[in-house]
């Protein structure tokens, strides 16, 4: 993205792209993103802050920075977050410092965030590329959420209700992928990343010697 057009003076101009990936819980977003990072190792994943308690197997700073609500709210008042939102009753946010650091390392950054966060990033006029992942059907989403078994039945029901709201915002995204066959969805996601990197807005400055 061109952070040069950003309203945020503390995020330096960058020739690198911010990829926003959103989906309802259970659509397979994290598996797709993890596989994408293996195929495209120059991508950097932004690790969010959240007030949600860790699930079994989740590690601090690898899956999330797990923090208390008071600490998160203090961060909000201090402008720590590039975007943040309340999702499923918990707060989630993207650290501005982390994005700045990764862009400073000349990396494209992947944000796994919800539609509200995606809106905030767009409203800040960042030139980003956004992708929405859909499940193949409601039955399949239901099945995947229950199979995961890491959440209680009440939490799963809440996630299904929230999925309706999340999916209602799919039309705000640049691309929509249906994650039916994992390998196909992964290739589609990789194709979007590769095409975005070849946009002329990025290529012209890179290839100035040839073009001018
Ligand atoms: P989960 O608790 O299942 O890991 O994530 C729940 C939802 O929160 C997902 O839709 C996920 O994309 C979203 N989320 C995770 N991190 C962030 C963030 O930093 N900002 C926003 N806005 N949403 C996030």
For 48-68, how does the pLDDT look when each residue is reduced to its tens digit (9 = 90+)?
999 999 999 999 999 999 999
Centre of ligand 1 to C-alpha 78, Å, is 21
DSSP-H helix ranges across the chain:
29-39, 69-77, 96-104, 115-123, 138-148, 153-167, 182-197, 200-206, 208-211
Centre of ligand 1 to C-alpha 179, Å, is 18
What's the pLDDT at 13?
A: 57
Residue pLDDT, tens place only, 125-135: 777 999 999 99
What's the pLDDT at 11?
A: 57
Name the helix (H) or strand (E) containing 93.
Answer: strand 90-95
Report the atom number in ligand 1 closest to the C-alpha of 93. Answer: 19
Q: Which residues of the chain have a pLDDT value below 50?
A: 1-10
CB-based contact 21:29 (threshold 8 Å):
yes
Residue whose CA is closest, atom 14 of ligand 1?
Answer: 113
What's the pLDDT at 159?
A: 83
Substitution candidate for ligand 1 out of 26, 113, 118, 160 with most atoms within 8 A of CB: 113
Distance between alpha carbon 162 and the CA centroid of its chain, in Å? 17
Residues with CB under 6 A from ligand 1: 22, 25, 48, 52, 83-85, 87-88, 92-94, 112-114, 116-117
What's the pLDDT at 133?
A: 98
């Amino acid at each position: 993205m061109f952070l040069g057009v950003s309203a945020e003076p503390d995020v330096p101009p960058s020739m690198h792209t911010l990829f926003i990936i959103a989906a309802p819980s259970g659509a397979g977003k994290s598996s797709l993103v993890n596989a994408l990072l293996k195929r495209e190792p120059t991508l950097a994943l932004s690790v969010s802050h959240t007030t949600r308690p860790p699930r079994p197997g989740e590690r601090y700073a690898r899956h999330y920075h797990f923090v208390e609500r008071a600490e998160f709210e203090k961060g909000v008042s201090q402008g720590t977050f590039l975007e943040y939102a309340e999702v499923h009753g918990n707060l989630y946010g993207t650290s501005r410092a982390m994005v700045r650091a990764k862009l400073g390392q000349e990396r494209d950054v992947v944000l796994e965030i919800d539609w509200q966060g995606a809106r905030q990033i767009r409203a800040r006029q960042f030139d980003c590329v956004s992708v929405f992942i859909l499940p193949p059907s409601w039955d399949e989403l239901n099945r995947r959420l229950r199979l995961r078994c890491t959440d209680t039945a009440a939490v799963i029901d809440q996630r299904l209700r929230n999925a309706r709201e999340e999916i209602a915002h799919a039309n705000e995204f640049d691309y929509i992928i249906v994650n039916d066959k994992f390998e196909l969805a992964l290739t589609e996601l990789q194709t979007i990343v590769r095409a975005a990197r070849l946009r002329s807005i990025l290529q012209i400055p890179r290839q100035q010697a040839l073009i001018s």
